[in-house]
Amino acid sequence: MGHVVGLRRVPSLRHVVQVRHVLFVLAACFVLSSSIPLLAQSDEISWFTNYDEAIREAKRTGKPIFLEFRCES
């Protein structure tokens, strides 16, 4: 999980997202640990957890989708 924590701390990713308006989608891989909602709150990234909703939003806005599969090993 260290790499996920790292993602939360780095502003460059947030910068790219905000400036470029990439639509972020979180696909529930299997475990939605508590760190994901925290990621969304602390970095103000809107993650979708419903794939169909994300597709609809991407169609509506014309934005690409950044899809995450996240598993524990």
Partner 1 sequence: MDDVDIALFDYDRYNTLYYFLMNADEQIYMRYGGRGPMSPISYLDLSSLEAALEQGLDLHQQYQKGELAKAGRPQPLFPRDIPAVFEGTTQKGRCVECHLIGDLQNVQRQRDGKLDRLAHMYRSPDIKTIGIDLDIPKGLVIAEARAEAQAAGMKPGDRMTHLNGARVWTFGDLQYQYDKVGRDAKQIRITVERKGDSVDLPITLPDYWWWTDLTYRQLSVEPRIYFKSRPLGKAEKRRHGLNPRGFASQVTAVEGFADILKLHQLKPGDIVFGVDGVERDDIANTAELFIKLHKNAGDTFMLDLLRDGKRTKMEVKTTSVAYRK
Distance CA 44, CA 14 (A): 8
Asked if 2 touches partner 1 (CB under 8 A), the answer is: yes
Which of 31, 42, 46, 49 is close enough to bind partner 1 by CB under 8 A? 31
Distance CA 24, CA 21 (A): 9
What 3-state class would DSSP assign to 10?
A: coil
Distance CA 52, CA 49 (A): 9
Asked if 47 touches partner 1 (CB under 8 A), the answer is: no
Q: Could you tell me how many residues of this chain bind partner 1 (CB under 8 A)?
A: 33
Asked if 34 touches partner 1 (CB under 8 A), the answer is: no
Which of 35, 40, 47, 58 is close enough to bind partner 1 by CB under 8 A? 58
